[in-house]
Structure 1
Amino acid sequence: MKRLLLICLLFISHQLLAQSYQDSIANHRENYKKEFLDSKSSPLKEADLSYLRFYEPDVHYRVNCIFKKSENVKPFNMSTSSGQKQEYYKYGVLSFQLQGKNMELNVYRSLSLMRVSQYKNYLFIPFKDATNGKDTYGGGRYLALETTDIQNDSVILDFNKAYNPYCAFSDGYSCPIPPKENHLTVGIEAGEKTFGKVH
Structure 2
Amino acid sequence: MTGYLELTDWRRRVAELYARVRTRAADDPAAAHADWREGRDRLFAEHPQSPLPPGDPLRTSGLPYWVYDPALRFELQVVPVEPASLTLGTGDDGTTTLERVGRVEVPGVGSLDVWWLAQYGGGLFLPLRDGTAGSGSYGGGRYLLDTAKGADLGGGAHGTLVVDLNFAYHPSCRYDPRWVCPLAPAGNRTTTPVEAGERLT
Are residues 22 and 147 of structure 1, via their aligned partners in 2, closer, same or farther at CA, if it must alter by over 3 Å?
Answer: closer
Residue of structure 1 in register with 2:133 after alignment: 132
* Partner Cα separation in structure 1 for residue 131 and residue 84 of structure 2: 30
State the superposition RMSD in angstroms: 3.1
Are residues 130 and 95 of structure 1, via their aligned partners in 2, closer, same or farther at CA, if it must alter by over 3 Å?
Answer: same
The amino acid across from 1:105 in the alignment is L
Residue of structure 2 in register with 1:8 after alignment: none
Determine if the alignment matches structure 1 residue 109 to structure 2 residue 116: yes
The amino acid across from 1:97 in the alignment is P
- Give identity over the alignment, percent: 26
1:132, distance to aligned residue in structure 2 (A): 0.8
State whether residues 66 and 96 of structure 1, in contact with CA within 8 Å, keep that contact through their aligned partners in structure 2: no
* Partner Cα separation in structure 1 for residue 69 and residue 89 of structure 2: 31
1:131, distance to aligned residue in structure 2 (A): 0.7
Q: Of 44, 58, 63, which aligns to 1:48?
A: 58
TM-score, normalised to structure 1, is 0.71
Residue of structure 2 in register with 1:10 after alignment: none
Q: How does 1:13-162 map to 2 (within 5 A)?
A: 20-36=28-44, 40-44=48-52, 48-49=58-59, 50-70=61-81, 73=83, 75-79=85-89, 85-98=95-108, 103-114=110-121, 120=122, 122-144=123-145, 145=147, 146=152, 149-162=155-168
TM-score, normalised to structure 2, is 0.70
1:40, distance to aligned residue in structure 2 (A): 4.7
- The count of aligned residue pairs is 168
Please say which structure displays the higher CA radius of gyration: 1
Unpaired runs of 5+ residues, structure 1, are: 1-16, 115-119
Residue of structure 2 in register with 1:6 after alignment: none
